[in-house]
Chains A and B, each alone.
Chain A
Amino acid sequence: MSTTTPAPSVQGLEPEVRLGLYSSMVLVRTFEEAILREYHADKGPGFDIGKGLVPGEMHLAAGEEPVSAGVCAHLTANDAVTATHRPHHFAIAHGMALRPMAAEIFGRTSGLGRGRGGHMHLFDPDTHFSCSGIIAEGYPPALGMAFAFTRRGSDAIAVAVTGEGAANQGAFHESLNLAALWNLPVVFVVEDNDWGISVPRSASTSIPNNADRAAAYGIPGHRVEGNDVDDVHEVAGRAVARARAGEGPSLIEVHTVRMWGHFEGDAQGYRPDLAEVGDRDPIPAYEDRLRSAGVLDDEQIARIRADATERVEDAITFAKGSPEPDPAEAGMYVFAEEAQS
């Protein structure tokens, strides 16, 4: 069976590491709040999903920042991350440049995909980041990235992220088996936010702990209860070190929280915990803890927040000021020979 955190072993985390975790979470939240604002600015009258500067589905990750911060703290830009339809927190925590990221979300030519991808399809060669809008299907490509790294003699690893709903998909299980069979340097991460859109995990999943599924493939599994970034950092550190050392894959499930809807516009009428979900915000809790531990004071908090706001607003301004794609070029980039620029 898998193991479960909280464990008593996280006291030793360096203050600089904790500041980094906090800063990552604040930057992500600042970004998500800015996208939230821009997304809803012009959807009216009423709510029309196709209207406005940022049209289409929008899946924001408020509440899930401890997962991305705790995992990505162990990665370099040489490591790959494959994320989900809710990708912003992992993209930012892994170091994606905010300007081209925001521009892609706004569908502009200066975006990562020149407006061809959108918020569920962010591809960044500089940080080996990609994501897929199809549940669990980001797992198999991570195997190939890890395979390529190993063949090239690199110690880079791949991190594959899904939600708890994906653990019932075939791609999830095929990937765990193949990674274990071939001893690939992959860290599988499951973000358990309790909800597959409107379906609670109790109605979707036959066991309470997806990390237990690791045992079926002979690899370590660990569940982090409590959405605690220090715990995620510790558990992910072991899994990343194991992968980097050539000892094979691990599975980590983090019990996190989806503070907002599945997508924007989701009224969440199905959700009995709606009134209390704000109480589970991991960022104020972590801020208090760091303050009590003397790691963080009000001045630093203000500075970190101001820096995040400045970076995010710069990216939003850049995105809005970038040209929209030329409709005549919708057919460009289907094939590689069309990508000369």
Chain B
Amino acid sequence: MTLTDTPPASRAQAGRRLSTSKAMVEAIAQEMERDESVFYLGEDVAAYGGIFSSTTGLLEQFGPKRIIDTPISETGFIGLAVGAATEGMRPIAELMFADFMGVCLDQIYNHMAKIHYFSGGRVKVPMVLTTAVGGGYSDGGQHSQTLWGTFAHLPGMKVVVPSNPADAKGLMTSAIRDDSPVVYMFHKGIMGLPWMAKNRRSIDLVPEGEHVVPIGKAAIARAGSDVTVVTLSLSVHHALDVADTLAGEGIDVEVLDLRSLVPLDREAILASVAKTRRLVVVDEDYLSFGLSGEVVASVVESDPSLLTAVRRVALPDVPIPYARSLEYAVLPRHDRIEGAIRGVLA
């Protein structure tokens, strides 16, 4: 077993590179081989293989009794997963886009997330809810949101958000094995899809065999001393790109990849900020009432004197627009991240 607390870039492992989607599928396949009670259901997850390649090849390997296409009926099949989990199975239910939470949220936040608590710990709900998030490809405002702050706000579910292939595998392994419900949110822009612009790190080294990344542990994606960028998912890559650029100017940026929102690794945030004293939070979710405010509040509550400067780079509180120029204006892309880093250093 490989236990990873550091990102793959810092590990000297030979060899095999996989796209994020293939790494995710590999974890699912390994867990399905290991545990008969694991099955995957959702829209277009069987013959199609998941519209963002989250299940490619699984139907051929495990057959239609365990890789199950559902009707477009999210309340029905997510509720089914909840009930199957309470009876000891380990379902993975895919919500095709996180944006579709509106048609099935009751099963997610009032049932999946609360049954264990309501039962005083006597009924477990060991399921994974996988869902695609994020924009940047002009899919409009109902197919581009991340919404992880909304899931993380509602108690009772863990929320993991991998940014790279190795973590996609390791966090999926942990999510399936967890006895609590876990929401596994994969950004379309990190999957390494051949039909969407991809960053250079979306195909990377992935350990073979069993690979576990613990839920609730952030990773230092890049160590630095001048400013801390706390971020997650696709924005990790934007932040790393900007850090590489600024390094040429002698600006040393630390990039902290949260990897999990629930539980949130506040210790890692505090440790980094204690070192740099300057904080930029980059979040592809909406600005107000969300993750970026939570990160800043966590630091300030712990020690109000810790920070000398703070900036947030997030989606302004508008629906995500369609036109490329408008969408790029609201997404936390390189230019805005760079501006915020320069701002806290000024």
Interface of A toward B, CB cutoff 8 Å: 80, 82, 111-117, 121, 123, 125, 128, 130, 132, 134, 137, 139-149, 151, 158, 170-171, 174-175, 177-178, 181, 332-339, 341
Given contacts A125-B119, A130-B123, A143-B83, 20 further A-B contacts (CB under 8 A): A82-B83, A113-B118, A116-B120, A125-B122, A140-B75, A140-B78, A141-B79, A141-B80, A144-B81, A146-B83, A148-B84, A170-B103, A174-B76, A178-B71, A334-B116, A335-B116, A335-B156, A335-B158, A336-B121, A339-B121
In the assembled complex, B107 has its CB within 8 A of some CB on chain A:
yes
Offer 27 A-B interface pairs, CB within 8 angstroms, sorted by A: A113-B117, A113-B119, A113-B120, A115-B120, A117-B117, A121-B114, A123-B123, A125-B122, A125-B123, A128-B87, A130-B115, A132-B111, A134-B110, A140-B83, A141-B82, A142-B83, A144-B82, A144-B84, A146-B83, A148-B84, A170-B103, A171-B106, A174-B76, A334-B155, A335-B156, A337-B179, A337-B180
Contact A177 B73 (CB under 8 A): yes
Contact mask for chain B residues 55-85; partner A; CB cutoff 8 A; 1 contact, 0 none: 0000000000000001101011111111111
A-B contact number at CB 8 A: 152
Q: Which 3 A-B pairs have the closest CB atoms?
A: A140-B79, A144-B83, A339-B121
Contact A332 B79 (CB under 8 A): no
Which B residues lie within 8 Å of A174 (CB)? 71, 73, 75-76, 79
Which B residues lie within 8 Å of A121 (CB)? 114, 118
A174 to chain B: closest residue by CB? B76
B127 to chain A, nearest CB (A): 9
**In the complex the two chains form, what is the Cα distance from A82 to B122 in whole Å?**
16
Candidates B91, B114, B178; contact of A336 at CB < 8 Å: B178
Given contacts A143-B79, A335-B180, contact A137 B118 (CB under 8 A): no
Q: Interface centre among A80, A334, A335, by most B CB within 10 Å? A: A335
Contact B118 A111 (CB under 8 A): no
A202 to chain B, nearest CB (A): 27
Given contacts A140-B82, A175-B79, contact A113 B122 (CB under 8 A): yes
Given contacts A148-B87, A171-B76, contact A137 B110 (CB under 8 A): yes
Contact B83 A178 (CB under 8 A): no
Contact B180 A137 (CB under 8 A): no
In the assembled complex, B316 has its CB within 8 A of some CB on chain A:
no
Q: Interface centre among B73, B87, B88, B107, by most A CB within 10 Å? A: B87
Candidates B80, B87, B107, B121; contact of A338 at CB < 8 Å: B121
B116 to chain A, nearest CB (A): 6
Given contacts A171-B75, A336-B124, contact A144 B87 (CB under 8 A): yes
**In the complex the two chains form, what is the Cα distance from A130 to B89 in whole Å?**
17
Which B residues lie within 8 Å of A332 (CB)? 121
Candidates B83, B116, B119, B121; contact of A141 at CB < 8 Å: B83
Which A residues lie within 8 Å of B180 (CB)? 335-337
A330 to chain B, nearest CB (A): 10
In the assembled complex, B86 has its CB within 8 A of some CB on chain A:
yes
Contact A144 B116 (CB under 8 A): no
Which A residues lie within 8 Å of B111 (CB)? 132, 134, 137, 141
Contact A177 B76 (CB under 8 A): yes
**In the complex the two chains form, what is the Cα distance from A162 to B111 in whole Å?**
16
Given contacts A113-B122, A333-B120, A336-B124, contact A148 B76 (CB under 8 A): no
Given contacts A144-B91, A145-B84, A171-B79, contact A137 B107 (CB under 8 A): yes
Which A residues lie within 8 Å of B103 (CB)? 170
Contact B87 A333 (CB under 8 A): no
Which A residues lie within 8 Å of B114 (CB)? 121
**In the complex the two chains form, what is the Cα distance from A151 to B88 in whole Å?**
11
Contact B122 A147 (CB under 8 A): no
B72 to chain A: closest residue by CB? A174
Contact B123 A140 (CB under 8 A): no
Interface residues of B in 93-110 (CB under 8 A from A): 103, 106-107, 110
A175 to chain B: closest residue by CB? B76
Candidates A111, A146, A170; contact of B120 at CB < 8 Å: A111
Contact B110 A132 (CB under 8 A): yes
**In the complex the two chains form, what is the Cα distance from A158 to B119 in whole Å?**
19
B175 to chain A, nearest CB (A): 13
Candidates A114, A140, A151, A177; contact of B107 at CB < 8 Å: A140
Interface residues of B in 265-296 (CB under 8 A from A): none
Which A residues lie within 8 Å of B119 (CB)? 112-113, 116-117, 123, 125, 333
Contact B158 A147 (CB under 8 A): no
B90 to chain A, nearest CB (A): 10
Which A residues lie within 8 Å of B122 (CB)? 112-113, 123, 125, 339
Contact B80 A336 (CB under 8 A): no
**In the complex the two chains form, what is the Cα distance from A121 to B116 in whole Å?**
11
Which B residues lie within 8 Å of A171 (CB)? 75-76, 79, 106-107
Given contacts A132-B110, A335-B180, contact A145 B87 (CB under 8 A): yes
Which B residues lie within 8 Å of A112 (CB)? 119-120, 122
Candidates B77, B87, B155, B158; contact of A80 at CB < 8 Å: B87
A112 to chain B, nearest CB (A): 7
In the assembled complex, B126 has its CB within 8 A of some CB on chain A:
yes
Which B residues lie within 8 Å of A113 (CB)? 117-120, 122
Which A residues lie within 8 Å of B81 (CB)? 144
B126 to chain A: closest residue by CB? A336
A340 to chain B: closest residue by CB? B121
Which B residues lie within 8 Å of A132 (CB)? 110-111
**In the complex the two chains form, what is the Cα distance from A82 to B83 in whole Å?**
10
Contact B80 A144 (CB under 8 A): yes
A120 to chain B: closest residue by CB? B118
B91 to chain A, nearest CB (A): 7
Contact B76 A143 (CB under 8 A): yes
B122 to chain A: closest residue by CB? A125
Which B residues lie within 8 Å of A148 (CB)? 83-84, 87-89
B262 to chain A: closest residue by CB? A335
